[in-house]
Amino acid sequence: MDFLKKYCKYILLFLFACGAFSISYVSTIKGGVNLSRDSANYLCAARTFMRGKGFLCFDNTYFVKWPPLYPFVLSMFLRAGGDIFYGARIFQALLFAGTVLFSGLLFLRNKYSLTSVVLGVSLVCFSLPLYTVSLWLWTEPLFLFLLILFFYVFNEFLNTPGYRNLIFSAVVCSLIWLTKYTGVIAVITGLIFILSDRRLKNPQRITMGLIFGMVASFPLGLWIGRNYVLTHTLAGVRVPSDLGLIENIYRSLNVITSWFCPFSLPLTLRIILFTGTVGGMIYAGRKDRKMRFMFTFGLLYLLFLVFMAVRVHFDKLDTRLLAPVYLPIVSIITAGLNALYYQKGAGRTIFKFLAGFWFLVVIFLVYTIISITLYFHTTGGKFTVDKWRDLEVVKWLKKHPLKGKLYSNAPDVLYLGAGLNASRVPERIWGWKEMEEAIERNQNVYLIWFGIRKGQTIFSLKEIGDKYRLIPIKKFSRALVFKINEKS
C-alpha cells in the first residue's frame, strides 16, 4: 500500500507512455511507417554512411540540407542486420513514448498538482502533432524527444545552477542541433536564460554562457565545416520562398489552433478560444521561471519558422514543421493550471472552469486519435514502402532497367520503390545548365514524370518538351517515361 502511494504517479506516467507507444505501433502494423521525399534522403544517407561512402542523398548529391544524427541512428539499424523499416517503427513509437514520459517527469519535478499533471500528460499523449509525426520516417520524433529531455535537464539547471547541470544541458542541446538546424533556437534560449540569471555573478554568467555555447555548438560546427568544404555552402542551396508574411502567419495559426479545436470551427473562433485560454495560463503562471523559459522557446521557434518560410521555399508550415511548438504550449497550460490550483477564491473557480475546458479538449483528442489509429490499423498508410513498390511504373522499371541518367519530378518515389538514384528536374530559378551538361555527358537520359506531383518550383513537363525532344517509351496511369534528346 505504501509502495503504491509513493509510486502511483510514476506508474500512471508509465501507463501513459505505454499508451503512446501502443497507438503509434498499432497504427503502423498494416504497412509500416510512411515515407516522404525527406525520408528517402535519410534512408539513402544511412545506407551510404554504412557502406563507408559518407552521407549522400538519393540523387548522389552531398547530404547537407539536414544534420547527420537521424540518418546515423538509422544506419545503426542497418549495421545490426535488421529490417530498417521495422526498426524505424519501434524507434519512432519509443521516441513518442519517451516524450510522454519525460513531459510527465518534468511536471512532477516542478511539484505540480496531480490534476495538472494528468491533464498535461494527457495533452502530450493524445496530441495530434506528436502522434502524426510518429507515423513517418522523419526527424521530428527524435527532435521532440531530445527537446523534452532538454527542457527536463535545463529545468534542473534553473532549479540549481551548476556546471554539472549546465554541461548535461549543453550536450543534449548539441544533439538537438545535430537533429534539425532549427535546434539553434534551443541554444539561443538556453543562452538567454543563463546570461540573464541574476542568481549568478557576472563573471560566472559569462563563463557558463561560453561553456554552454561551445559545447552545444561544437559538433554542428564540425558538420557545417564539412558542408562548406564539400559544397561551399553552410547548409545547402535553398530556393527563395513564394509566400509572404501574412500567408505564413495565417497558416501557422490555422495549424496550431486545429490541434486543440475541431477544424469545423471558424478560424477566428479558434484563435479567440486558443489565445484566451493559453493567454490566461501565461498570466497565471507568469511568476514561474520555468514557464517563462518554455514561453520564450516556443515564441522564438515560431518566429524563426515564419521568418524562414518567408525567406526560403520549403514544405508549407504544417503539423510536421510546427510540432515542436506543441510541447511549450502544453507546458504553459500545465504551469498555468497549477498556479490557479493553489489559489483561493476566484483563482480556484477559474481553475475548475479551465480544467473542465481542457478535459473536454482531451476527450476530443482521444476520440480523434483512436479513430485515426483504427483507420490506419485497418487500411495502412498511403505512403508506405509497399505502396511505393506497388506502383506500375516501379514494377516496370525493375523488370526493364534504364541504363543512363534519370530525371524525375518525384525522384524519391523511384528511390523508395525501386532503389533507383534519379535527379530532380531542375528548379526554374537555377535554369537548364545542370540538365544540359548531363545530356552532353550521357548518351541515354530519361525522364520519369509522375502526375501525382505538380512541382511548382521546377520546370513543367511542357517546358521540358519545348526545350528538348521527348520520345515516349511507356505510359502508365500515374506516370510517363520518356527518353530525352536534344532538338535537332
Domain residue ranges in the chain: 2-379, 390-486
- Give the residue-averaged pLDDT of 146-154: 96
For residue 6, count other CB atoms closer than 10 A to its CB.
Answer: 9
Digit-coded pLDDT (tens) for 319-364: 999 999 999 999 988 888 888 787 777 767 777 777 787 788 888 8
Q: In 307-319, which positions are buried (b, 16+ CB within 10 angstroms) versus exposed (e)?
A: ebbbeebeeebeb
Indicate if the pLDDT at residue 455 is higher than 80.
no
3-state helix, strand, coil in the chain (%, to 5): 65, 10, 25
**Residue type (1 letter), 226:** R
**Least confident window among 87-96, 201-210, 378-387:** 378-387
Average per-residue pLDDT for the chain: 88
Distance CA 331, CA 327 (A): 6
Q: Which of 25-29, 162-166, 362-366, 411-415 has the lowest mean pLDDT?
A: 362-366
Instruction: For the chain, give the number of residues.
Output: 488
Q: Long-range contacts made by residues 424-427, C-beta under 8 angstroms, separation at least 24?
A: 424/59, 424/458, 425/455, 425/458, 425/459, 425/464, 426/458, 426/459, 427/239, 427/457, 427/458, 427/459
Dihedral sign (CA 308, 224, 431, 454): negative
pLDDT at res. 222:
96
- For residue 406, give the nearest of 484, 349, 328 by alpha carbon: 484
The predicted model gives 88-102 an average pLDDT of: 96
pLDDT (0 to 100) of residue 332 = 87
Per-residue pLDDT tens over the stretch 21-72 = 999 999 988 878 899 999 999 999 999 999 999 999 998 899 999 999 999 9
Q: What is the structure's pLDDT at 45?
A: 96
Confidence of residue 376 (pLDDT cuts 50, 70, 90): confident
Q: C-alpha angle 125/126/130, rounded to 5°?
A: 75
Q: Where are the alpha helices (DSSP H) in 139-201?
A: 140-159, 163-179, 184-195
Closest Cα to residue 58, out of 72, 78, 42? 42
pLDDT for residue 41: 95
